Structure 1
């Protein structure tokens, strides 16, 4: 189930994440386990997640691997290292919707949000089309922890496309 899309404004969001390159088919098996590693890294650096985990898609070529980050928002900008990147997703306007259900529906949720923007006459650039790594962020924010809610029909994931400042 998809919520009604909307345009919102978000503030700057510091984060800590692993950056990975992988095929689309590998996302379900390779990306989620990295969240525990990022949480562990935060704990060893005296920090904690400041919100729900996310996937940020930085490059999505039609053929070949995606470039994405798997991480958590943080309360402030931390100093990364060779293992974990830190940075800021810049403030700006975002189109978003909430997908309720299993993760295998997220691709269609992304398509639906893009189609809604098209009907509004609003284009959203793909990340690899604009300068600045996060100027066109495509985010999936996982608001439901599957360990706390085992029923995938109740999982809520926010899909958000950054539209600019």
Structure 2
């Protein structure tokens, strides 16, 4: 049975602080960055902070023909009473930019996201949206392109039951 697809939405988001790590990876080495989410959650807990939302991957640069991506793994943080969280080592503190984002939700295995991403990009083209993206030498440089992981893999190990949100910033 084919699952019903939601229609993409356009949502206005404020600036959102987070801690993250960055890496240059290939399509088969995502774990080098993504697997550090748990480490960052623990790092925050050690400092008395809890995540303020779903962890995410932020795509900065994508060059599929050369199989090279610059990706961040991030964990949102609230602004604590003592001020913002400071980075340490290769964990840095930053903020996702405020603005309008095209959003789409996906229920299922992350391997199925490619089709959902293609559909969102196509929908944006049909709506006449301009993405926050520049292209140089075959590489897409995104202002803010996110995959947010709403399912805790410790609570739901079956990846076919995971929920992922896409948020692509609009110019």
Match 1:68 to one of 43, 46, 71: 71
CA shift, 1:102, in A, is 0.4
The answer to whether the 8 A contact 1:59-1:126 is kept is no
Any idea what SS the aligned residue of 1:141 has? Answer: strand
Matched, 1:85 2:88: no
Higher gyration radius (CA):
2
CA shift, 1:152, in A, is 2.9
Matched, 1:30 2:2: no
Residue 58 of structure 2 is matched in structure 1 by 56
Any idea what SS the aligned residue of 2:17 has? Answer: strand
CA shift, 1:128, in A, is 6.2
Superposed counterparts of 1:128-139, under 5 Å = 136-139=143-146
User: Which runs of 5 or more residues in structure 1 are unaligned?
Assistant: none
Runs of 4+ with >6 A deviation? none
Richer in strand (by share):
2
Aligned residues: 159
CA shift, 1:44, in A, is 2.2
CA shift, 1:149, in A, is 2.0
The one-character-per-residue Cα deviations of 1:50-72 (angstroms, maximum 9, x if unpaired) are 11110000111232421111021
Residue 14 of structure 1 is matched in structure 2 by 17
Task: Say what the alpha-carbon RMSD is for the aligned residues.
Answer: 1.9
Richer in helix (by share):
1
Residue 98 of structure 1 is matched in structure 2 by 105
The answer to whether the 8 A contact 2:58-2:145 is kept is yes
Superposed counterparts of 1:122-161, under 5 Å = 122-126=129-133, 136-161=143-168
Instruction: Evaluate the alpha carbon distance shift between residue 128 and residue 50 of structure 1 in structure 2; reply closer, same or farther with a 3 A threshold.
Output: farther
